[in-house]
Homo-oligomer: A and B are copies of this chain.
């Protein structure tokens, strides 16, 4: 019988599961937030994922539930599990991607290298952390942040007064040391419910204004030891938190050649979009295989280099399609992926993947193709 995978959330990650689902013969059903979402083609229901009855109705027709995003409340997920629904990743795992303080505490238990951190509830505690860490720190709201939102560099305990004032009783902000890093990396792992895991090659990610801008796969000029350490960290976390599906571990590589864990994501991730065209098994196919408890696919690169460049909405009107055609004409080797979203400034509306043998050329073409949208 055809496996039916339900995806909560109708954004571009759900959209990009459609193509591999069709080829694998998986029936994809999406609970979208509204009409005209990215994943509209596979939307079988529209409604609020925070409404248990809507979610219950949606999951009735599926064999396994997974997610386009990490915002589904724990109580909804736990109610589904209590109903006997297969939920991947499950609430026990997903909590570590939903709350950065819970994540930091768990990584500490696992002995995974990470920046110094603390949970702070007032300006004095924050000031003390800053004083102990060279006069600066990064403050993060533990929940709900993404693409640089909910992250702030501070120099004084009073620099996060607004966020501290908004804290509910018993809640805290996460504060982390300012890591002096040379670059950012990302390590992806796929893990099945039966515990089988497979690692992707570690990649280099470049952020702009807190948003992933470019990815080079595999990470250039990376020693075999670093590749191995990144994979070990990824596998240790995947097993340690019991993730099912795709896990992305964002990493800092420091001046003194350490690898520290920055963030976790438990879903296909922007840092893995390169794999659609650059790996034997793209991350969206792999996520479906993993959550449907099917055997995992090989992850090695299909080309020496793959570069992914995001396309952000700019001051464009409805002419996005013309830009696509121009980019396709000039760079017939570029794989342009669109999200079916109206272009608003700074909004991710697509990405370009380019593969090849010579990194400089691949970077050039990927950037030049994406630049048609600037």
Contacts and interface: CB of A to CB of B under 8 A. Distances in A.
Interface of A: 1-3, 15-16, 18-20, 22-25, 41-42, 276, 280-281, 289, 294-298, 302-303, 318, 321, 324-325, 328-329, 332-333, 335-340, 350, 355
A340 B18 contact: no
B295 A325 contact: yes
A15 B18 CA distance: 12
Contact of A328 (B280, B297, B328, B340): B297
Contacts of A339: 25
B19 A15 contact: no
Contact of A338 (B24, B281, B318, B355): B24
Given A18-B19, A41-B42, 6 more contacts: A18-B41, A23-B276, A23-B336, A280-B333, A295-B329, A296-B332
A352 to B, nearest CB: 11
Contacts of A16: 22-23
A297 B329 CA distance: 8
Nearest to A19: B19
Nearest to A296: B332
A25 B325 contact: no
6 contacts: A16-B22, A23-B335, A23-B337, A24-B324, A294-B324, A302-B302
A334 to B, nearest CB: 8
A332 B289 CA distance: 11
B321 A25 contact: yes
Nearest to A324: B25
Given A302-B302, A321-B3, A332 B295 contact: yes
B338 A23 contact: yes
Contact of A18 (B1, B22, B318): B22
A340 B26 CA distance: 9
A326 to B, nearest CB: 8
A139 B253 CA distance: 70
Given A280-B333, A296-B332, A298-B332, A321 B1 contact: yes
Contacts of A298: 332-333
A154 to B, nearest CB: 41
Q: 8 closest A-B pairs (Cβ-Cβ)?
A: A25-B338, A19-B19, A295-B329, A295-B328, A298-B333, A298-B332, A23-B337, A18-B22
Contact of A1 (B2, B15, B297, B318): B318
Contacts of A280: 333, 335, 355
A174 to B, nearest CB: 37
A338 B2 CA distance: 11
A241 to B, nearest CB: 24
Contacts of A276: 23
